[in-house]
A and B are shown apart, each in its own frame.
Chain A
Amino acid sequence: MNHFLQVLFDGLLNGLVYALVAAGLSMIWGVMDVINFAHGEFLMVGMYVSYWIGFFLDVDPLFSWIASGAFLFIMGAATYRLIIRNSLGKSAMAPLLATFGLSMVLKNFCMNRFTPNFRLLSGTVLEGKTISVGGAILSVPQLATAAFALVLLACLYWMLKRTRLGWAIQATAMDSEAAELMGIRTENIYLLVFGIGGACVGITGGLMTSYLAVYPEVGSLFSLIAFVVVALGGFGSIPGALLAAIIIGLVESFTGFYVAAVVKYAAVFAVYLAVILIRPKGLFGW
């Protein structure tokens, strides 16, 4: 068996999923300079939505990601309207603390309602399926999630670069007052960006339930990695997030296998610190 290839694919697949989680965070930061500390918990909620739909309605994660994406889009937009908007323009800490508070509420709500137990959907379409590529064995559910993440990232990037709405989002990020002068209702852009940020993790979470157990703490690790990816790739850059996420995914899987599993996150953060020392703005930062 070819260990190297196996480790390489594991890192790549994880990296692509990290990229989509990070893209939502990165977009919100890029447009509004707000760090959403509840981002990981949004992912967790997305997973629960997909899990319960699978559990009660017997809908496969291959389809229920639509529902979890939509649910998180609305939740993201509502978070902007009800929480972020009221905390903007005060202190820079205000939105930070507000979203941190939201993450606590979401985590503890799920702990209280759904217990801290791990829940894994059984009998999903892709369950247990694997394919072999050059000696490496790939899990099909994970492959599907990663492929989906790549397609969605491409769509997001295309929307930002090639459509009038995308230009309006970029314009709002660069100079919101000048954007208002173009007739762009920047309030709506913020709402939309928060919605998209939520939908990114909603969709990822929805798909992940086909191979990953959901529990109230599941978001923590993902959000930590997403922060590293965003800072490493450069705030607000989607290609940056993609590249950084793949780097992080590979570092994680290679050190996890060739060094020791216990040091894999130490290695992730070491790489991050090294890059930030040389390029404080991240790989693709302005």
Chain B
Amino acid sequence: MAAMLEVKDIHCGYDGTPVIRGLSLEVNRGEIVAIIGANGAGKSTTMRAICGLLHPERGQILLEGEDISRSPASANIRKGLSYIPEGRRLFPKLTVRENLELGAFTVVDRKVIDERLEEMFALFPRLKDRSTQTAETLSGGEQQMCAIARGLMSAPKLIMLDELSLGLMPSLVEKVFETVVLINRKGITVLLVEQMVQEALEIANRGYVLQTGRVVHSGSARELLDSDEVRKAYMGM
């Protein structure tokens, strides 16, 4: 299996305060990999560094072997990387359709954009009904679908999902995780960050446990689910 993404010993932080201290991880083509950890462990910072919103002070980030640790987020999306940030970050005053169109901002061919729109509306029929409404009028679940669809509009090779379950009711959480599996089956590699450890590991192939900016455990999702330490620390068992 070829590595889709390799993160090698990155260090980064904000205004000199270190958040990530020597973190390494790997995501192989076709996998679902989960990053778990407590609040403040550096999960979102790791995601921001990978997608290019934040540049590491040291270390390397390779996407299909190409070093992207210095390239900006707007360039990385053209290389097949899509990041769905925590809190969805839809454009509130734009319509659902306009939000989706912007997801394919890097695509020039009108026909390709229309095809992808149809694909998204097939995957999330609710979005089709709501396509002319502004994003701020959607319910939490619909907003999350819209954010996922927007992230898929660029037809990424690797999609990074940050706290998908945040603020959703339990029945929706399950549906969102099902969608992630569906996306993965279409051949898109998935890297996700989750507070809902059990649910995340149930759909993941492998996982990394973060603590104060470092990887403290890693292994197959099964191993992590069975590990007493992980169960005690993150699942309250």
Please say whether chains A and B are actual partners in one complex: yes
Partner of A175, one of B91, B98, B101, B106: B91
Q: Which residues of B contact A174 (CB under 8 A)?
A: 91-94
6 contacts between A and B (CB under 8 A): A167-B101, A180-B74, A181-B53, A181-B77, A181-B82, A183-B75
Give every chain A residue within 8 A of B85 (Cβ-Cβ): 177-178, 181
Is B219 interfacial (CB 8 A cutoff)? no
Decide if B89 touches A184 in the complex (CB within 8 Å): no
- Of all chain B residues, which has the CB nearest A286? B93
Total cross-chain contacts (CB, 8 A): 67
- State whether A180 and B102 are in contact (beta carbons under 8 Å apart), knowing that A174-B91, A174-B92, A174-B93 are contacts in the complex: no
User: Which A residues touch B93, using CB under 8 A?
Assistant: 170, 174, 286
The one of A170, A183, A186, A286 in contact with B91, judged by C-beta atoms closer than 8 angstroms, is: A170
Interface centre among A164, A181, A186 (most CB of B within 10 A): A181
* Smallest Cβ-Cβ distance to B92: which chain A residue: A174
Q: Which 8 A-B pairs have the closest CB atoms?
A: A183-B106, A178-B89, A183-B77, A180-B73, A182-B105, A171-B91, A182-B102, A180-B74
**Complex contact A177–B53 (CB within 8 A):** yes
B103 at interface, CB cutoff 8 A: yes
- Interfacial chain B residues near A181, Cβ < 8 Å: 51, 53, 73-74, 77, 82-83, 85, 89
- How far apart are the CA atoms of A182 and B152 in the complex, in Å? 11
Residues of A within 8 Å of B91, CB to CB, are: 167, 170-171, 174-175, 178-179
Once A170-B91, A170-B93, A174-B91 are accepted as A-B contacts, the answer to whether A184 and B72 lie under 8 Å apart by CB is no
Q: How far is the CA of A276 from the CA of B48 in the complex (A)?
A: 40
Least Cβ distance of A26 to chain B in Å?
Answer: 15
Is chain A's binding surface mostly helix, strand, loop or mixed? Answer: helix
Contacts of B150 on A, CB cut-off 8 Å? Answer: 182
| Given A181-B85, A183-B154, 8 more pairs with CB closer than 8 A | A164-B101, A167-B91, A168-B105, A180-B53, A180-B72, A182-B103, A183-B106, A184-B105
Q: Which residue of B lies closest to A172 (CB)?
A: B91
Partner of A164, one of B73, B90, B105, B154: B105
Asked if A85 is at the interface (CB within 8 A of a chain B CB), the reply is no
8 Å CB contacts to A: which residues of B74-130?
Answer: 74-75, 77-78, 82-83, 85, 89-94, 98, 101-103, 105-106
Judged by a CB distance under 8 angstroms, whether A279 is at the interface is no
Of A167, A177, A183, A185, which is within 8 A of B94 by CB?
A: A167
